[in-house]
Amino acid sequence: MRHDSLFCASLTPRIAPALLIGLLVLLLTACGGNRAVKQRVFPPSASIQELRRSGDDQWTLMLRLQNFSNVGMRIARVDAQLTIGDGASMALETTPGITVAPDSAEPYPLGFQLNADATRAIADALSSGRSVKYQLKGRIESSEPRSRNDEFDFDSSLTPVPGLTDTLR
């Protein structure tokens, strides 16, 4: 029995400081854990995720709506001008009414008809297997978390997708 009491007596001085440090960490964590995260709302953006032929002269554009804020954002309206290649621009207008999660993006399908300049540029890109530049420029109106009307300007390129006819990404 004396052996057990010696073991306990030598163990207690080692455990006491560790328990004290653990208790202090727990108390400090409890004091600072009740802070609300500040809402940071930044302008959204839009780009083309995919362009796919859906009929003779009809195309489906998968519009990628990007939210850079740390809160969800409801996209009410997008008014933009799309220029493919060096041709004339086309108007894109839509009212998605979707909520994009914080720091995320949502695709939104939009059917439309290409103008003659864009049709030639896309046909050249598809036949040659090369990319084609595009510019999407306009305004995005959001209704939540608060009403905003932000400008955006996005330049990139679309490349034919191997194995998928009449599709560019």
Q: What is the pLDDT along the chain (169 residues), one digit of tens a residue?
A: 555 555 555 556 667 677 777 777 777 666 665 567 789 999 999 999 999 999 888 999 999 999 999 999 999 999 999 999 998 899 999 999 999 999 999 999 999 899 999 999 999 999 999 999 999 999 999 998 889 999 999 999 999 999 999 999 9
Query: Hey, what CATH class is 45-158 in?
Result: mainly beta
Q: For position 71, what pLDDT does the model report?
A: 95
Q: In what order do the strands lie in the sheet with 58-67?
A: 104-113, 58-67, 45-53, 167-168
CA-to-CA distance for 46 and 63, rounded, in angstroms? Answer: 7
pLDDT value of residue 24:
72
Query: How far, in whole angstroms, is CA 116 from its chain's centroid?
Result: 31
Provide the pLDDT for residue 21: 79
Residue with the two structure tokens 């440090």: 21
Q: What's the rounded Cα separation, in Å, for the pair 52 and 92? A: 16
Half-sphere exposure of residue 27: CA atoms within 13 angstroms, side-chain side: 6
The DSSP element (H or E) to which 10 belongs, if any, is: helix 2-32
**Alpha carbons 9 and 166: distance in angstroms, whole number:** 80
Q: Look at residue 141 and give its three-state secondary structure.
A: strand
The pLDDT of residue 82 is: 97
Where are the chain's structural domains? 45-158
46: nearest Cα among 150, 163, 167: 150
Closest to 79 in 3D by CA, of 46, 56, 102, 48? 46
DSSP state, 56? S
109's CB contacts (< 8 A; 6+ apart) are 60, 61, 62, 63
